[in-house]
Structure 1
Amino acid sequence: MFALPLAAAVIATVKALSTSAQIVVAHFMAQNSYSYDANDWTNDITTAQGIGIDGFALNIAMTDYEVDQVATAFVAAENANFKLFFSFDMSYSWQAADVVSLVAAHASSSAMLMYAGGVLVSTYSGEANGDVFFAGIKSSLASEGITITLAPAFTTYRDPSLANSLLSTFPSIDGFFNWWSWPDDVDTTLTTDTDIAYRNAAHTRKGPYIMSVSPWQFKDIDANDNWVELSDTLWNYRWLQAIQDVQPDIVEIVTWNDYAESHYIGDINPNVDLGTGAPNYVDGFPHAAWRIIAQYYIQWYKTGTAPTVTDDVVVFWYRAHPKAVTCTGGWPVRMSTFPADAVFALSLLSTPATISLDIGSTHAQFNGTIGASIGSVNFPVEDAQIPFIQIIRAGTTVKSGYGSVYVTESCSWYNFNPFVGVIQ
């Protein structure tokens, strides 16, 4: 398997942050930390750090249990030389004084991520509060001797033509976080038009431009929250966009643990209360193997050179049901015609090989080159089939394995969340 020893990953992280080189963080839903103890935080931090992630953007929604959990997180991060910063979830109601209090409480922590001479502060949404709200926060913190670098994710700013008006409307912001890492309810892949426009705008300030990179987007928890975006190959091409086209100051992986929206790359913590809807499509659908792909692309992003693969691996992902089936539970999903009924596979190879993909009577193969290659095989006509994947070199199968979830035409919940597995 492609992997960096943990010590090497830590060294790479320290170098990146000390030289203001490219930084990689993961969006962490503090709302899902209710049942956490110090060990949970340490485990998540160590796991993230092991693949080259430098820190967590703590999505905090309210001044409730999350405040105490964040304090525990900072202690764990300090011990691990890991970074944290606040991403205030402005879809909830925040008082400026509470924002100031939380930032001030942790501004001096060695774990706080600094950027351009200030404490990095971000948001999810918040533009409805207006510039006066954010300018007041900066002023109040400045009066306490704390400078912040404000890079919010104002989610209504997605149209590239609005990038310049963002700056004139919000003179208080120092950078920008583009939350949008999925196609905009369309059956086409995502372009970098938004990234380029807002990166250029952000770079007229002291920065940073934060680009989101995400593997998936699906949700089905009630009659109003049910959708899927075209994400079939997103985890591959979005990383390439970041590395080859946009070259942002910070990559923010969306997300580490937002289980309900199916874009988690962290392990599914069994102690987290997922509510009543999400467990129906999250339980039994691990995404841990996506971290192998992340590790490869993180190193490439940080060094500017595609890593050398020394151990062949194939990461694969697929849904458990064809998109046209009718399920007995959940809600019919918007944009459900967009995803392909297929098994997707990304190979990381030391030398070229054929990647063979079989499911039922359906066969496909692709030529895996040195480094990363991607291919797919369509779902079969037969019911209740499971993928079989082989790495074949010079006519000999060198590695092979099966998926762990059958593709069936019967389902108890509408589920567009993929199972992610690995051949290694």
Structure 2
Amino acid sequence: MLSVSLVAVVIAASHVLSANAQIVIAHFMAQNAFSYSQGDWTNDINTAKATGLDGFGTALNIALPDYEVDRVADAFVAAENANFKLCFSFDMSRTWQQSDIVSLVATHASSPAMLTYNGGVLVSTFEGEANGNDFWAAIRTSLANEGIKITFAPAFISYRDPSLNGTLLSDFPSIDGFFNWWSWPNDVDALLTTDTDIAYRDAAHSRGGPYIMSVSPWQFKDIDANDAWVELSDTLWNYRWLQAIQDVKPDIVEIVTWNDYAESHYIGDINPNVDLGDAAPNYVNGFPHAAWRIIAQYYISWYKTGTAPAVENDTVVFWYRAHPKAVSCSGGWAPRMADFPADAVFAMSLLSTPATISLDIGSTHAQFDAGVGAAIGSVNFPVEDAQIPFIQIIRNGQTVKSGYGSVFVTESCSWYNFNPFVGVIQ
């Protein structure tokens, strides 16, 4: 019986996770670990385990072989102590030497915390297709000469068109699997489909896999005039999990991300010691996403067991932006695709027995009948300024739980902010 609160989940893990196991990892931006102590790693790992994650796997996203190398060493110590898995994702938008990649993988290949798949150390990337097949084949050979087998499943992001899945295989005979980074709509006002997932899953399986499917709650960035966009993400955290569980059935689910604050898809706690730069704090600070982990816990259990878990603690997780999309702000940059998101409060219920979920903000009211398990609904922003949502779970005509958001929806804004506040009634 799953209690939908952030309680510890028992995770059975050995040095080699079975290729048939359902694995869930989260992308961790090692670039944001500059100020990390051993305790920071331990806290993040314990929080991740309580959510049901098996690891930070193509998650130790490393941009350069500098301070991150030492932080990753700390991460392996913490992961070994916690029976947690880690693996490398090399950010190839930066310049990497083959020897540095080989050295880093070899240093940690024998760690009991290293995530393996099909008997090989799992290695991934962000980008890297421009380096060509020979670059990656040489890395595989160099590691093999040291007695280290790898399972290479990169995120070559230019392969998004489903029709290019065969081209991927012909261009890269060195790959074993594939990580589909694309977990948001492609700059369109439409829900994300599974066409790319299915095509590249089949390609990955023809090589032995794994197919790694990304699942993400949001996408918004506003750090300069060239990096200002928002993708349609209103209900993404719900339907993308259902796509993974019911349609794609990937070998590995990768949550994108644990801590990429600047792109607003973090589900980890906001670490106050992390330097977010000059722009991102304007839309990250005060906008926690921790309650999204409750939804993740529910769907992770379903993905791993094949059955929707029983809910013991009636819960509503809700999220909303702080400003209507049409307002002009005094700072930041108006993001591309700003017309796509709905001006609304979204609420997802996890219930033990059916109830009505009542949603109010200002003069606007909506409600939906929610059954056992998960259900989702929304209420539009009101015409009045400076309003805050009020949410109730009503059963047999009685309010059994209720609560307010912690951020007002206003038409006054000092920075363009499409990053949602995420709250919970439980």
TM-score by length of 1: 0.98
Matched, 1:49 2:52: no
3-state DSSP of counterpart to 2:10: helix
Shift of 1:14: 5.6
* Partner deviation per Cα, 1:189-228 (whole Å, 9 max, x = no partner): 0000000000001000121000000000000000110000
Matched, 1:215 2:222: no
CA contact (8 A) 1:16 1:22 kept: no
3-state DSSP of counterpart to 1:28: coil
3-state DSSP of counterpart to 1:10: coil
* Partner deviation per Cα, 1:397-416 (whole Å, 9 max, x = no partner): 00000000000000000000
Shift of 1:4: 6.8
Determine the C-alpha separation between the residues in 2 that align with 1:416 and 1:95: 37
CA contact (8 A) 1:59 1:89 kept: yes
Distance 1:124 1:15, change over 3 A: closer
Shift of 1:51: 1.1
Greater CA deviation, 19-28 or 413-422?
19-28
3-state DSSP of counterpart to 1:408: coil
Match of 2:274 in 1: 272
| Partner amino acid, structure 1, of 2:226 | N
Distance 1:84 1:218, change over 3 A: same
Matched, 1:173 2:175: yes
Determine the C-alpha separation between the residues in 2 that align with 1:155 and 1:420: 29
CA contact (8 A) 1:13 1:53 kept: no
Match of 2:124 in 1: 122
3-state DSSP of counterpart to 1:86: strand
3-state DSSP of counterpart to 1:203: helix
Determine the C-alpha separation between the residues in 2 that align with 1:127 and 1:289: 36
Match of 1:337 in 2: 339
| Partner amino acid, structure 1, of 2:326 | A
Structure 2 counterpart of 1:311, from 290, 310, 313: 313
CA contact (8 A) 1:12 1:52 kept: no
- Which consecutive residues of structure 2, in runs of 5 or more, have no partner in the other structure? none
3-state DSSP of counterpart to 1:200: helix
Q: CA RMSD in A?
A: 1.1
3-state DSSP of counterpart to 2:202: helix
CA contact (8 A) 1:13 1:52 kept: no
3-state DSSP of counterpart to 1:310: coil
Determine the C-alpha separation between the residues in 1 that align with 2:22 and 2:41: 24
CA contact (8 A) 2:6 2:294 kept: no
Match of 2:29 in 1: 29
Distance 1:295 1:276, change over 3 A: same
Matched, 1:258 2:242: no
CA contact (8 A) 1:138 1:148 kept: yes
Distance 1:13 1:319, change over 3 A: farther
Determine the C-alpha separation between the residues in 2 that align with 1:422 and 1:223: 33
Alignment of 1:84-99 (within 5 A): 84-99=86-101
CA contact (8 A) 1:320 1:418 kept: yes
Alignment of 1:56-135 (within 5 A): 56=56, 57-135=59-137
Match of 2:142 in 1: 140
| Partner amino acid, structure 2, of 1:41 | W
| Partner amino acid, structure 2, of 1:187 | D
CA contact (8 A) 1:332 1:414 kept: yes
CA contact (8 A) 2:385 2:409 kept: yes
Structure 1 counterpart of 2:412, from 410, 413, 416: 410
Match of 1:353 in 2: 355
* Partner deviation per Cα, 1:171-190 (whole Å, 9 max, x = no partner): 00000000000000000000
| Partner amino acid, structure 2, of 1:144 | E
Distance 1:162 1:19, change over 3 A: closer
3-state DSSP of counterpart to 1:133: helix
Distance 1:172 1:54, change over 3 A: same
TM-score by length of 2: 0.98
Structure 1 counterpart of 2:294, from 289, 292, 295: 292
Match of 1:400 in 2: 402
| Partner amino acid, structure 1, of 2:344 | A
Distance 1:102 1:16, change over 3 A: closer
Distance 1:83 1:126, change over 3 A: same
* Partner deviation per Cα, 1:94-123 (whole Å, 9 max, x = no partner): 111100000000000000001001000000
| Partner amino acid, structure 2, of 1:30 | A
| Partner amino acid, structure 1, of 2:36 | Y
Determine the C-alpha separation between the residues in 1 that align with 2:15 and 2:70: 30
